[in-house]
A and B are shown apart, each in its own frame.
Chain A
Amino acid sequence: MKLSGARIFLECLKREGVDVVFGLPGGAVLPIYDALYDFAGLKHILVRQEAAAGHAAEGYSRTTGKVGVALVTSGPAATNLVTALQDAYMDSIPIVAFTGQVPTHLIGNDAFQEADNVGITRPCTKHNFLVKDGSELGTIVKEAFHIASTGRPGPVHVDLPKDVLVKEWEFHYPERVHLRSYNPTYEGHPGQIKKAAKAMLRAKRPVLYVGGGVISSDAYRELLKLAELTQIPVTTTLMGLGAFPSEHPLSLDMLGMHGTYYANMAVYNSDCLIAVGARFDDRVTGKVEFFAPNAEIIHVDIDPSSISKNIQVHIPIVGDARRVLAKLIEAIKEEVRDDVPSIVREARKQWHAQIAEWKARFPLRYDWDDEVIKPQYVMQEISNLTRGEALIVTGVGQHQMWAAQYYRFKYPRHWCTSGGLGTMGYGLPTALGVQAAHPDMLVVNIDGDGSFVMNSQELATCFESRLPVKTVIINNGYHGMVRQWQEIIYKERYCSIDLSASPDFVKLAEAYGCVGIRATKPSEVVPALEKAFVTPGPVVVDMMVDREEDVFPMVPAGGANKDMILDRPGKAVKERAAKSQTGF
């Protein structure tokens, strides 16, 4: 059967099970949009800027486990998309992005809207393709989805020259693809698993340190089982939030730079650290010499290059987190045939008591104020009102950290935040992608006033495509996180952080056809949130919060996690913090 390249492209998406595409048209992809005109079974959501198409695909992917799809034109559209690709790459999010390209005979001629798309996206994708021959289109699309979603997931980019889309080709979509050069390891090495099981049972002060890999491999059930079986406390990274219920007695919440005191102390004092689907990122480890210095380290990861990259690992296990954890549970049961929990509970009594003491001594805390809204309070109320059932998305900055600290996570795949890249502007477009995948669920975008304006144009997409995202802007009139660093580390030399000249966000929301609500006093927080959550359609809440609140605990970049700043610091601590800056 002969079809145009554009039509083949759409047929491929359909066969891949794609139900929604986030995109924005232009010259080079017009053949696709023309074919889309009367193509049934594929929904297209028109975003207002191409990065938003990429982020929306990320949100779709993170909350469904399926591959998200973005479609944009050549040149400037492709370069706009780059931020989202790098974002997805850093956080291992499977998306496939399609860009248009000038016709093959013009490639390299500086044609109108030409850019070296594959050259530009090469370092920020797991893999990319330039389709030069339309008869390969089906295979390439299949390979793109395969590569994005298997092994360590990630973004894949496919560049589509216009003539390939226009010409007719024999349509062929392979059932499966085999790439001889790409064979991810899923099963962990049995010998290593046995070793790990022994080490975990032997340990007196073990900690499970889990990251986004547990979520992407859907290993949360196995994680819960393993933690309860072995009575090992669990701390998660920013990417791993939701992999373990926050309310669980074994939960240590988040670790790292803005993690809890008890998580960091537990890791620092541990004698066995079991890292699962986490990559020892510098925001987690702080100064590596002081990260779990006395622990035997077990590392389960699907990507061999993550192992022993930053920290020397003693028991590496390459494999899929879910499968390895399942085998680990078996191995532990085999080691101890009796009732494991009662035995380990006895052995870990002291450790659990120590952790309880840390928790009691330095819980997450903030000072209440009757007049000024504390951002942490807003997070607590969002958590209460949604009962941890909502899909939460954030921008980047202080509000992101407060959300991570104070939201009580119940489920995996309910949390989208830009972890590795820290992309401001991530919130709203990601949230609309989440909402497109879950039309009937409550999607809350917790944003900063700085982050929000980087993609606030997407309110138009929310309005037009009936995506009722609820955005809560934690409005402190500052680039708050930058202000915090300037305050604590740069001796209060404030520079280029004031955002008090931002637009009126209530009016802005209304201008886009959305509902705007403002809260200025603590007593208005709950009513404003309640109203936002029950109002149909997209809503923006302008939450006027304490302008100078800081995120604590905090470890200055490059510092040791055991030296956390727990509260607004005095002069001596600031000077120490300034010194600890080691070029981060």
Chain B
Amino acid sequence: MQNGTEPRKHTIAVLVENRFGVLSRVAGLFSARGYNIESLSVGETLDPTVSRMTLVVRGAEFVIEQVIKQLHKLIDVIKVTDLTEENHVERELVLMKVNAEPANRAEVLRTVDIFRAKVVDVTPTTFTLEATGDEQKIDAIVELLRPFGIQELVRTGKVAIARGSKARVRRSEEKLGKAKAADGALSQDPRIVGFAD
């Protein structure tokens, strides 16, 4: 456990059975072991019996490895992928209600334009804006608009997807000396291939 002791942010994709109670199993795993979830988002996949969670967790290499193994151990978890290890796209969405007095309206709209955000609701004194992007972009637009006065703000958790189409090497499982058989059996499930990787 010499290397990888520096805590680092990891984005983990978890495919789970779309059943009641699954979210609390995952959340329970984190709380019981004292791991902290920075963000969590859940939604149905192409296959309505499968949900996909995107978790952002901060931790040292061996902690993350244990998190992944523990996630795997949950009976309802179909697949776990640490996206941090590979080329992937991450997005967040923010909705915010910004003060827009006549004097500021043009300036706010310019910022909206630069960030390719959208105005989704207007009142004489406010704009409600929608923006998507990676974390840095969202942070930047929030900071730029803060001086005008943000009345209310809501951010989704992160969602992420790997780039490209090739199946990836299952790093952690190889590391463990796990035989291939179980792996093969898993990816033969037609409902999982296609979006699992």
Binding site for B on A (CB under 8 A): 118-119, 122-123, 126-127, 130, 147, 179-185, 187-192, 303-305, 307-309, 312, 315-319
**B58-75 to A contact mask, C-beta < 8 Å, 1/0:** 000010011001101101
Interface residues in chain B, defined as those with a beta carbon under 8 Å from any beta carbon in chain A: 1, 16-17, 21, 24-25, 28, 32, 62, 65-66, 69-70, 72-73, 75-78, 173, 175-182, 185-186, 189, 191-192
Give the nearest-CB partner of B180 in chain A.
A189
Contacts of A316 in B (CB 8 A): 175-177
Q: How far is the CB of A558 from chain B (nearest CB, A)?
A: 18
Give the nearest-CB partner of B31 in chain A.
A123
**Bound form: Cα–Cα A317–B173 in Å:** 11
Contact: B75 with A189, CB < 8 Å? no
**Measured CA separation A534–B167 after assembly (Å):** 66
Chain A residues positioned under 8 Å from B72 (CB to CB)? 304-305
CB B129 to nearest CB in A, in angstroms, measures 38
Q: Which residues of A contact B66 (CB under 8 A)?
A: 305, 309
Which 8 pairs of residues, A with B, have the shortest CB-CB distance? Answer: A192-B177, A305-B69, A181-B78, A189-B177, A127-B75, A318-B178, A183-B182, A316-B177
Q: A439–B177 Cα gap in the complex (Å)?
A: 43
Partner of B179, one of A179, A181, A182, A185: A185
Q: Is the CB of A315 within 8 A of B78?
A: no
Report Cα–Cα, A113/B176, bound state, in Å: 46
Other A-B pairs, 17, CB within 8 Å; known A122-B25, A147-B75, A185-B179:
A180-B189, A180-B191, A180-B192, A181-B16, A181-B17, A181-B77, A183-B186, A184-B182, A185-B181, A185-B182, A189-B179, A190-B179, A192-B177, A305-B73, A308-B62, A315-B177, A316-B175
Contacting pair A118 B179 (CB below 8 A): no
In the complex the two chains form, what is the Cα distance from A188 to B176 in whole Å? 10
The distance from the CB of A126 to the nearest CB of chain B, in whole angstroms, is 7
What total count of A-B pairs have CB within 8 Å? 73
Question: What are 6 sample pairs from A and B whose C-beta atoms fall under 8 A apart?
Answer: A180-B192, A181-B16, A181-B76, A183-B186, A188-B179, A303-B73
Listed residue (A181, A307, A315) with the most chain B CB atoms within 10 angstroms of its CB: A181
Are B75's CB and A182's CB within 8 A? yes
- Determine whether the beta carbon of B176 is less than 8 Å from that of A122: no
Q: Which of B62, B65, B66, B73 has the most CB of A within 10 A?
A: B73
Task: Pick the most buried of A123, A147, A189, A309: most chain B CB atoms within 10 A of its CB.
Answer: A189
- CB neighbours (8 Å) of A181 from chain B are 16-17, 75-78
A123 lies within 8 A of B28 (CB): yes
Instruction: Report the Cα distance A179→B70, complex, angstroms.
Output: 18
Closest chain-A Cβ to B50's Cβ sits at a distance in Å of 9
With CB as the reference atom, state the residue of chain B lying closest to A312. B1
Closest to A128 in B: B21
Contact B73 A118 (CB under 8 A): no
Alpha-carbon distance A188/B76, docked complex (angstroms): 24
With a cutoff of 8 Å between Cβ atoms, the chain A residues found around residue B180 in the complex are 189
Q: Across the interface, which residues of B come within 8 angstroms of A188, CB to CB?
A: 177, 179
Note all chain A residues with C-beta closer than 8 A to B176: 304, 307, 316, 318
A286 shortest CB reach to chain B, Å:
18
Contact of A183 among B16, B69, B185 (CB under 8 A): B185
Q: How far is the CA of A86 from the CA of B172 in the complex (A)?
A: 29
Closest to A196 in B: B177
Q: Are A318 and B177 touching (Cβ within 8 A)?
A: yes
What's the nearest-Cβ distance from chain B to residue A368, in Å? 47
Considering only CB atoms, which chain B residue lies closest to A188 in the complex?
A: B179
Q: Quick one: closest B residue to A317, CB to CB?
A: B177
- Which residues of the partner chain B approach A147 to less than 8 Å between Cβ atoms? 75
| Cβ–Cβ contact B28 & A122, under 8 A | yes
**In the complex, what residues of B have CB within 8 A of residue A122's CB?**
21, 24-25, 28
Q: A181 CA to B70 CA in the complex, in Å?
A: 13
Chain A neighbourhood of B186, CB < 8 A: 180, 183
Per the bound structure, the CA–CA distance linking A304 and B24 in Å amounts to: 22
Known: A119-B24, A123-B28. Is A304-B185 also a contact (CB below 8 A)? no
Contacts of A126 in B (CB 8 A): 75
The CA-CA distance from A263 to B27 in the complex, in Å, is: 40
Give the complex CA separation of A119 and B173 in angstroms: 31
A189 to B76, CA, bound (A): 25
